[in-house]
Structure 1
Amino acid sequence: MEEEYSVDPAQLLEAATDLAHRPGSLSDSSAQEFLARFPLPAVISALQTSADYPGLENAVVPCLERIFKTKHGASLIPHFMPVVLVGLGADSQNVRHLACVTVSCLLSESSDGRISVQLIRQYGVYPLLLSCLVDGDDQVAAASANAVKALASYPEGIGIVFPESTNEATHLENLAQKCSPLVRVRLLALIVSLFSISSSVASEISKSNLLNLLEAEVRNTDDSLVILSVLELLSELAEVQHSAEFVSRTSLFQLLCSIISSEAAEMILRSRAMVIAGRLLSKENAFEFIDDSSFTSVLSAIDGKFEFLESQDSDACECALEALGQIGSSFHGATLLLLTSPPAARHVVDAAFDRQHHGKQLAALHALGNIAGETRLGSNIVLNNTAEENLKRLIYEKASNTAKLTPSGLLLSILQQDSEIRTAGYRLITGLVARPWCLVELISRSEIISILANAYTETKKIGMESRHRCCEAIYRAFSSSGTLSSDPGFADIAGKLQEAIRRGPYLATKQSETQPVVMTADRF
């Protein structure tokens, strides 16, 4: 048998190197051609004796990874499961990485996932994957985590990854309690990755109390690097749409508030905690699962430290403004920002029109745009009467305390600044113009409309698109305002906005006839 499948190592090295570095994705036909010349058993056999041939392992491993990622290659994996098991326990990190990738390919490229999961269970693959996660190098651990995530993506695989008995050696909570801080962070990263798969998988994580491991890791260590790593994982978790539902069942909000309010916490930890809390509360469905006390606790923590952050660390202040803006992106969050006493939104309004600090102003303008409803749709743009009165009052009071005197003056000054500030200003106006008082302010200043209608104001794509959307929002509000739209004195403004909308966002120009160029001939 060995003679039947023996290959020339030199030829295999050359062919594997070529295939591994071939540009583009590998086709099934290319994989078949390679395996017709070098049968898979022979390649595996050569890999097991690769120590005798320098460079062979480094060529064969990426070559096989590419082959197994094809449909044809993946179809061969079930016939070589014992070899996969050997690879998962190999001394070579390259071979272990290949084995983990092979498991992922088995699950992701299979025509019948149930059979693949059955093979994983039958051959006891999952404990070996966890071993790779625990004691492999970074690449092996990452490949192992991907394989576990692929397994948990199947309903049949959930029971393997989340055993019912907490006494199982493969239970992630048990594993986390027995390993080093580095490995615990890997396990926590795996939990967050699994959480993002679906709401049903997140439910299993919640029932297994695995989210509490994130909280416990922060509470039980004084190592700022470990805390920061866990906060980064919480930041990823906060991006998941169903995060609010399950985080609300833990005490993570209290933990984030304690970090924000802590006198001893490093500024970078406070900054991350604020942004994470903002992301969690920014979901439009957050108020369905998170009570107002959690919202107000976060707002109180940020509000109580805002002046300190403003005076001590500009980056932390920008993070606080970002967090407030994220909370304000939802209807419920924006309402609370304006109804707290005093309104937490006052910090955003003050900073939005402060030209002394560019980064802070930029963050505040985007935050105020969110509060004003630029990211919301339809009837969710405008808030309840009390919140709207507070928003109007904050902006008018800010204007009266500056040389601009009126909101229109403030908005004009924004549009006269650099491109980044202008783009944030477009977002702010797009949200604010749904209010009649803001519409009146805008059309009372012809300079504002001239800047907005000028197709040459912006040269970057995001700026062009934001300016165009702003024109559409103003014209939409203008057209629906019976008194203003019927006033002949505003016909010129309507015409400018219509023309700006018709020409589109991308430097559209009016048609012009080609002009001949007449030149005298050169004489020598």
Structure 2
Amino acid sequence: MAQAMDVDGEGDMDTAKFLNAAHDLSLVLGVPSDDVIRSFLAEYPLPMVFRLLQQEADDPQSVETICNALDKVFLSPYGRSLLPLVVPAAAAGLQASQPRIRKLACTQILRLLDHNNAASVSAVRSIDDAHLIEPLLETLADSDEGVAKTASAALQSLASHSDGLAFFFRKCERRLKDLTVTASSTVQMRAFQLAADIAASSPDALAAVRTAGLLRPLVDDLSQSTDVLSSINALELLGEIAKSPHGASFVVEGQLPRQLEKLIAGDTTDGFVRSRAMMVAARLVSPEGGRPSPLDEQEASALVRAFNDIIVRAEDDEDLEGVDDLEDSAIDALGQMGTSASGAELLLREPDVAHPAARHVARAVFTRMKSSQQLAAIHALASIAGAERHEPSPILSTSGEDSLKNLVYGLAAGTSYHTPGAVLWHLLQQSDETRVATYRLITVVVARHWGISEVCAHEQLVSFLSDPASERSKQAMEWRHSACVAAASAAQRFASTGEVSLSSEAVNKLDAAARRGPYLSATGRPEAIPTVTTDQRPGG
């Protein structure tokens, strides 16, 4: 590993014997015990191992064997305690010709930083004293993807410590900014990814990244770049940043919502870029994990209107290139928007209550029979209706509920089935995937008095739901049962309040089906559930 790895080692080493021992150590399963590592290092001290690694640098097989053994050494608690002693070796390792050695150096720096919080300050200072921060940043441009990725992880870990964050920006801010602008596209994306990972780690880190302007070129790329891949990569990274609460606030401050609006509704936007922009926008309107949206109402409404505009244009021009893909992407994204109550309310009132954006989803459910788009739309409508909002309730505001009801009844009336219950019955006559999606929709539709009324009023639908023989796959059986449980519970609740009058025969069927469980036959006997066993050899 170059000159710094040739630390004070004494005596000669039997190379073949050592390589055999290193190979044996690398084969130890899991983390070796401290006794195993102490025994290995007693015979082969680290200075001697590093010296031999330098000597064998031109032999890839020997390098791999030694590096694998060192990985095992530093996995153990005792080996980790030695990491501060090998910082000088890591500096030389970053300059090695073999990528395996460079990756080993990055890995040990990462392990040193992650070793324990108590030692973090001394670890950061030892790395700074060894002048490792700048070379580690340059390793982002390594020709080996694995080396660059490990270096990035080490730098991210460094910046996660308060002292390390200060050291990093004092020494690397200008160079990292250069990499985001002047490096090759691959290295640019690595630099942006590092900046994004650092920004998402803490409020202080986000403030440092914002002050340095490291991510501003990403938003600029969306408005100026004609490179499809660069735009998609920029959206991917901005989407990742937006997953953390403070990261989401940052991308909103950076004018990302306005850029997303332009990309979604733009006539000349590439289809792949538009699709990715739609999903990033959806996750800003309804963040994963139930977090509140970082967007204000005006920004969120503008994004919903952009969706509506491009879908309307696509519907009016069936010859538009990529129209099917556009509508598929839009339905998926609208479903994500609908996972939150605020997102669902937006979809049911924007651009106006008479023509809400949610109608595009519902129309695909009611009119795109037996298509992949219909399957996605059923799931999306279930999300808007509250499939992810069981606690405390999937129910929306009075205006939201009125809009949803009018939408469902209005579209059903325009089909040959006439009623929502008949449409649900028809959907359950289709493929396994469509039935599972329909069961998911039924579980939330019945939370409304009109929904449980529609189900109970359709005799064939109730019979299908309550018949254990309706399904054969485990997933479909469980979803059918979930629909029965939800319907039976809703029927009892509404009956107790006198809000609706339901068929007692339908209610009894649903209640009995809910009590039987998902895997019982109509006779009440357990269904045979397939199991997988190991074949026995004859005579075995």
TM-score in terms of structure 2 length: 0.86
1:466 aligns with 479
- 1:191 is aligned to 2:195: yes
Shift of the alpha carbon at 1:276?
Answer: 1.3
1:314 aligns with 324
The aligned runs of 1:124-139 (5 Å cut-off) are 124-139=131-146
For 1:198 and 1:503, locate their aligned partners in 2 and report how far apart those are by CA, in whole Å: 50
Q: Deviations over 1:251-270 (max 9, x none)?
A: 11111221222222221111
- 1:290 is aligned to 2:300: no
For 2:251 and 2:212, locate their aligned partners in 1 and report how far apart those are by CA, in whole Å: 13
Match of 1:89 among 95, 114, 117: 95
- 1:303 is aligned to 2:313: no
2:160 aligns with 153
Shift of the alpha carbon at 1:144?
Answer: 0.5
1:386 aligns with 399
Match of 1:449 among 459, 462, 483: 462
Check the 8 A contact 2:457/2:502 in 1, yes or no: no
Structural RMSD (CA): 2.9
Match of 1:214 among 197, 218, 221: 218
Shift of the alpha carbon at 1:275?
Answer: 1.2
SS in 1 for 2:301: helix
For 1:275 and 1:145, locate their aligned partners in 2 and report how far apart those are by CA, in whole Å: 26
For 2:345 and 2:501, locate their aligned partners in 1 and report how far apart those are by CA, in whole Å: 37
2:341 aligns with 331
1:141 aligns with 148
Match of 1:272 among 273, 276, 279: 276
The aligned runs of 1:243-258 (5 Å cut-off) are 243-258=247-262
Check the 8 A contact 2:99/2:147 in 1, yes or no: yes
For 1:455 and 1:223, locate their aligned partners in 2 and report how far apart those are by CA, in whole Å: 54
Moved more, 306-315 or 79-88: 306-315
For 1:168 and 1:454, locate their aligned partners in 2 and report how far apart those are by CA, in whole Å: 66
Q: Deviations over 1:122-152 (max 9, x none)?
A: 3232212101113442111101011112223
Shift of the alpha carbon at 1:182?
Answer: 2.0
1:235 aligns with 239
- 1:419 is aligned to 2:443: no
Shift of the alpha carbon at 1:322?
Answer: 0.9
For 2:378 and 2:34, locate their aligned partners in 1 and report how far apart those are by CA, in whole Å: 52
Shift of the alpha carbon at 1:49?
Answer: 0.7
For 2:520 and 2:32, locate their aligned partners in 1 and report how far apart those are by CA, in whole Å: 41
Shift of the alpha carbon at 1:386?
Answer: 1.8
Letter in 2 for 1:218: L
Gaps of 5+ in 1: 515-524
For 1:453 and 1:35, locate their aligned partners in 2 and report how far apart those are by CA, in whole Å: 68
Check the 8 A contact 1:5/1:39 in 2, yes or no: no
Moved more, 329-338 or 427-436: 427-436
Check the 8 A contact 1:172/1:187 in 2, yes or no: yes
Shift of the alpha carbon at 1:98?
Answer: 0.7
Letter in 2 for 1:121: D
Moved more, 141-150 or 378-387: 378-387
SS in 2 for 1:339: coil
1:522 aligns with none
1:114 aligns with 121
For 2:520 and 2:129, locate their aligned partners in 1 and report how far apart those are by CA, in whole Å: 62
Give the 3 Å change call, closer, same or farther, for CA 194–43 of structure 1 in structure 2: same
Sequence identity of aligned pairs in percent? 34
- 1:438 is aligned to 2:445: no
Shift of the alpha carbon at 1:462?
Answer: 4.2
Shift of the alpha carbon at 1:455?
Answer: 3.9
For 1:462 and 1:145, locate their aligned partners in 2 and report how far apart those are by CA, in whole Å: 41
1:361 aligns with 374
TM-score in terms of structure 1 length: 0.88
SS in 2 for 1:481: helix
Check the 8 A contact 1:67/1:73 in 2, yes or no: yes
Shift of the alpha carbon at 1:355?
Answer: 4.1
For 2:271 and 2:219, locate their aligned partners in 1 and report how far apart those are by CA, in whole Å: 19
Letter in 1 for 2:268: A
Moved more, 195-204 or 367-376: 195-204
SS in 2 for 1:353: helix
For 1:468 and 1:290, locate their aligned partners in 2 and report how far apart those are by CA, in whole Å: 38
Q: Deviations over 1:438-480 (max 9, x none)?
A: 1111111233233333445445554444333333322222221
The runs of at least 4 aligned residues of structure 1 exceeding 6 Å deviation read 484-489
Give the 3 Å change call, closer, same or farther, for CA 356–467 of structure 1 in structure 2: closer
- 1:401 is aligned to 2:408: no
Gaps of 5+ in 2: 1-6, 529-540
Give the 3 Å change call, closer, same or farther, for CA 110–39 of structure 1 in structure 2: farther
